[in-house]
């Protein structure tokens, strides 16, 4: 049976490494680990993962912007992780969000919720106002 391929997007190298190890131990294939917005978008296009686990805060970048860009190419199951989930919940109320710190069981549940999410709900992320339009004060 083919293992699910996951792209990890996390700017803290130690956290990214540990998350990758945990995912591999859970039976998933980590197809890549990226630490910034540009690298994450390029890796998503290159690897075509089955799922992305994305930290909302990426140094000078944004995990929300990464997913917004990736969704332009079609649906992509994803899980956001963050120490402060309020921004994600405000901008993407339908998103699957995991608050740091979390347990392995929480991670597993979030992954399966991302796959169980109806396609119609996944497309709502594209319909909702973009992050840039909210930050700039424009209406999408």
Give pLDDT tens digits for 52-107.
Answer: 999 999 988 899 999 999 999 988 999 999 999 999 999 988 899 999 999 999 99
What residues contact residue 72 under an 8 Å CB cut-off, 6+ apart? 126
Q: Domain segments of the chain: what residues?
A: 5-136
What's the Rg (C-alpha) of the chain?
14
- The two three-digit tokens of residue 123, written as one number: 């497309």
Among 64, 66, 60, CA closest to 92 = 64
Confidence of residue 140 (pLDDT cuts 50, 70, 90): very low
CATH topology of domain 5-136: Rossmann fold (3.40.50)
pTM for this predicted structure: 0.83
Q: Region 8-37: what's the mean pLDDT?
A: 96
């Amino acid at each position: 049976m083919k293992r699910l391929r996951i792209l990890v997007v996390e700017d803290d190298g130690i956290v990214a490494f540990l998350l990758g190890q945990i995912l591999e131990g859970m039976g998933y294939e980590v197809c890549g680990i990226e630490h910034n917005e540009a690298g994450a978008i390029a890796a998503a296009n290159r690897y075509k993962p089955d799922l992305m686990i994305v930290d909302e805060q990426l140094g000078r970048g944004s995990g929300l912007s990464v997913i917004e860009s990736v969704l332009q190419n079609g649906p992509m199951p994803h899980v956001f992780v963050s120490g402060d989930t309020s921004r994600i919940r405000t901008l993407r109320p339908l998103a699957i969000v995991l608050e740091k710190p979390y347990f392995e069981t929480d991670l597993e549940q979030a992954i399966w919720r991302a796959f169980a999410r109806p396609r119609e709900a996944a497309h709502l992320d594209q319909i909702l106002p973009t992050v840039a339009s909210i930050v700039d004060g424009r209406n999408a």
